[in-house]
């Protein structure tokens, strides 16, 4: 049997980390089993649907390098893969259920349903939901209601006795008493659009889905879907409800740690936000795949190609996975350092251009800056903050130029020696390592500690006491501006000495 799985999001918002993890688990399982990964767009919620959300879906999967075998854009044997283009199919199958006595037309008005809901709440009735008022209407009663121009919905006949069970790979058998299942939910709305339950079951069956991997929050829908499969006489697919993605919360008073479903209060949750901040796709893909899944408990770094080979359902954890932003940052920093300087410069360039620091034609300046900041970057966007030194802070305060245990006169001598060496080194096109080694040797020859040479140089060039390496700063800033600042600092020290 060919494994066929699907990712079926509703384009009503940006792609969330939890949804993306579901997509990745489905995709990797399909690849590991030599099966098919299907993308289906469940866009029947027309009030919340947006073109922006649909485009974000496509952009997110493309950015992560996830290619679907069947679905929108690429096509496939079960087109269309967009639910709003499949309305006739749902209407046909809903009517079949009515004809088989498994569903029925309901003519209850919104006003009646609102009154029913209010009454149940006021009386604190143990039975909540629809009261099956139209379940046993006679043909004559139906005809009379239709004469009044009421457009009916179609409701599923949920058994009132017994129980319904389905098996989940992680959770085992899950049973629910039929009396506790939502009473006779709507399958087809009066406007001809299906509800989630009907469209989901029909599409999964018609598209040959063999395994359904979705969040555990969908477990309550499981029995209802099984009843639908049984009503049609279809074999249900294999279920695997994935553990929730949780965020960590620390009580500011007690310091106690709590966990709750990941939301914006924990930090960014949409992939678009992570992408804008400068997370790499390979880092996000790697880390998110480990939230609730583990290969051997030790190996942490996986390429997409490796996960396509080793992913398996048996290694999914039953317990919720915790999304650790600090661990993701660590992953991202590691992946940044795996890049060549050329690759990293290409990734950083858009941030520099958007911040107005560089022009698109000035990549070589950035390339010269990259070696000095590569080990310091956590996010690609950090490079903008690291370039604060480019803004001239004006004449530096003399106390900032003078290192500990030195005075203005000795600092002046050290900076003059440093400046002469740096000018000569740049003229001879020395590398940063050659400049550093040469300056250390010069310090030793003149009885200075290394800090006596490097610290005044850093402050003179950047106006800061903490910055990227001074030689990297000079290369990005340009020799002319850097040397002007050094000469200005020397003048400040002369005035003090």
| pLDDT reported for residue 267 | 76
CA distance linking residue 426 with residue 431, whole number of Å? 8
Phi, psi of 254 (to 5 degrees): -90, -20
pLDDT bracket for residue 383 (50, 70, 90): very high
Torsion of CA 335, 341, 342, 343, to 10 degrees: 0
| pLDDT reported for residue 256 | 79
Quick: pLDDT tens for 286-296.
999 999 999 98
pLDDT bracket for residue 450 (50, 70, 90): very high
By annotation, the residues acting in catalysis are 264
Question: Within 10 A of 388 (CB to CB), how many other CB atoms are there?
Answer: 12
Structure tokens at 466: 């903490």
Quick: pLDDT tens for 69-116.
999 999 999 999 999 999 999 999 999 999 999 999 999 999 999 999
CA distance linking residue 184 with residue 131, whole number of Å? 8
52-56, 122-126, 131-135, 487-491: the lowest-pLDDT one: 122-126
Q: What share of the chain is helix, strand, coil (3-state, %, to 5)?
A: 50, 15, 35
Torsion of CA 426, 431, 436, 440, to 10 degrees: -80
| pLDDT reported for residue 43 | 94
* Mean pLDDT on 310-335: 95
| pLDDT reported for residue 127 | 81
Question: pTM for this one?
Answer: 0.92
Indicate whether 251 pLDDT > 90: no
| pLDDT reported for residue 125 | 86
Indicate whether 260 pLDDT > 90: no
CA distance linking residue 164 with residue 166, whole number of Å? 7
Angle CA(374)–CA(453)–CA(424) in degrees, nearest 5? Answer: 80
55-64, 263-272, 328-337: the lowest-pLDDT one: 263-272
pLDDT bracket for residue 46 (50, 70, 90): confident
Give the domains, in start order, of the chain with CATH numbers. 86-242 (3.40.50.620), 245-337 (1.10.1160.10), 340-383 (1.10.8), 387-496 (1.10.10.350)
Answer for the pair 26, 69: CB distance below 8 angstroms, yes or no.
Answer: no
| pLDDT reported for residue 268 | 78
CA distance linking residue 337 with residue 344, whole number of Å? 9
Q: SS3 for 176?
A: strand
Distances in Å between the Cα of 284 and the Cα atoms of 77, 96, 484 are 32, 45, 43
Distances in Å between the Cα of 430 and the Cα atoms of 40, 145, 317, 437 are 57, 91, 54, 11
| pLDDT reported for residue 259 | 79
Element (H, E) at 249: strand 245-250
Q: What is the DSSP letter of 154?
A: E
Q: Which candidate, 437, 444, 434, 439, places its Cα nearest to that of 418?
A: 439
Quick: pLDDT tens for 185-231.
999 999 999 999 999 999 999 999 999 999 999 999 999 999 999 99
| pLDDT reported for residue 351 | 98
Pair type for strands 321-322 and 245-250: parallel
Sorted by sequence, the CB contacts under 8 Å of residue 2 that are 6+ apart come out as: 34, 35, 36, 210
DSSP states along 209-242 = --EEEEEGGGGGGHHHHHHHHHHHT----EEEEE
What value does the mean pLDDT of the chain take? 95
* Mean pLDDT on 299-304: 96
Element (H, E) at 289: helix 281-289
Tokens 């099956």 correspond to: 132
Structure tokens at 253: 């008073």
Quick: pLDDT tens for 336-356.
999 999 999 999 999 999 999
Question: Within 10 A of 399 (CB to CB), how many other CB atoms are there?
Answer: 8
């Amino acid at each position: 049997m060919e494994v066929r799985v699907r990712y079926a999001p509703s384009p009503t918002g940006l792609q969330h980390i939890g949804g993306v993890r579901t997509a990745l688990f489905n995709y990797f399982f399909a690849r590991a089993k030599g099966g098919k990964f299907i993308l289906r767009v469940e866009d029947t919620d027309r009030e919340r649907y947006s073109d922006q959300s649909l485009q974000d879906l496509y952009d997110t999967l493309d950015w992560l390098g996830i290619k679907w075998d069947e679905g929108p854009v690429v096509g496939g044997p079960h087109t269309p893969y967009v639910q709003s283009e499949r309305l006739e199919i749902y209407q046909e199958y809903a009517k079949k259920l009515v004809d088989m006595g498994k569903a029925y037309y309901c003519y209850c008005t919104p006003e009646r349903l609102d009154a029913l809901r209010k009454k149940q709440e006021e009386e604190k009735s143990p039975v909540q939901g629809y009261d099956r008022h139209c379940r046993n209407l006679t043909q004559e009663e139906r005809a009379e209601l239709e004469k009044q121009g009421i457009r009916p919905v179609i409701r599923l006949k949920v058994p009132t006795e017994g129980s319904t069970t389905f098996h989940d790979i992680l959770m085992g058998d899950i049973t629910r008493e039929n009396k506790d299942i939502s009473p006779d939910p709507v399958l087809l709305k009066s406007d001809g659009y299906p509800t989630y339950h009907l469209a989901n079951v029909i599409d999964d069956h018609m598209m040959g889905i063999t395994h359904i991997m979705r969040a555990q929050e969908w477990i309550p829908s499981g029995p209802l879907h099984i009843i639908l499969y049984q009503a049609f006489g279809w074999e249900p697919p294999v279920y695997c409800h994935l553990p929730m993605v949780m965020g960590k919360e620390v009580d500011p008073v007690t310091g106690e740690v709590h966990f709750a479903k990941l939301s914006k209060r924990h930090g960014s949750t949409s992939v678009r936000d992570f992408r804008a901040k400068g997370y790499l796709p390979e880092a996000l893909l790697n880390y998110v795949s480990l939230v609730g899944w583990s290969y051997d408990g030790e190996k942490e770094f996986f390429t997409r190609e490796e996960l396509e080979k080793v992913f398996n359902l048996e290694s999914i954890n039953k317990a919720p996975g915790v999304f650790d932003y600090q661990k993701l940052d660590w992953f991202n920093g590691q992946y940044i350092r795996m890049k060549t300087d050329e690759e990293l410069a290409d990734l950083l360039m858009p941030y520099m251009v958007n911040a107005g620091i560089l022009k698109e034609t000035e990549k070589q300046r950035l390339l010269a800056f990259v070696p000095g900041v590569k080990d310091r970057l956590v996010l690609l966007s950090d490079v903008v903050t690291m370039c604060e030194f480019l803004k001239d802070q004006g004449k530096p305060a003399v106390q900032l130029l003078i290192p500990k245990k030195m005075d203005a006169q000795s600092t002046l001598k050290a900076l003059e020696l440093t400046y002469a060496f740096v000018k000569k080194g740049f003229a001879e096109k020395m590398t940063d390592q050659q400049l550093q080694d040469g300056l250390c040797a010069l310090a030793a020859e003149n009885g200075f500690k290394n800090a006596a040479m490097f610290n005044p140089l850093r402050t003179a060039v950047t106006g800061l006491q903490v910055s990227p390496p001074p030689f990297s700063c000079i290369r990005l800033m340009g020799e002319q501006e850097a040397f002007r600042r050094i000469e200005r600092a020397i003048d400040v020290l002369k005035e003090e000495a």
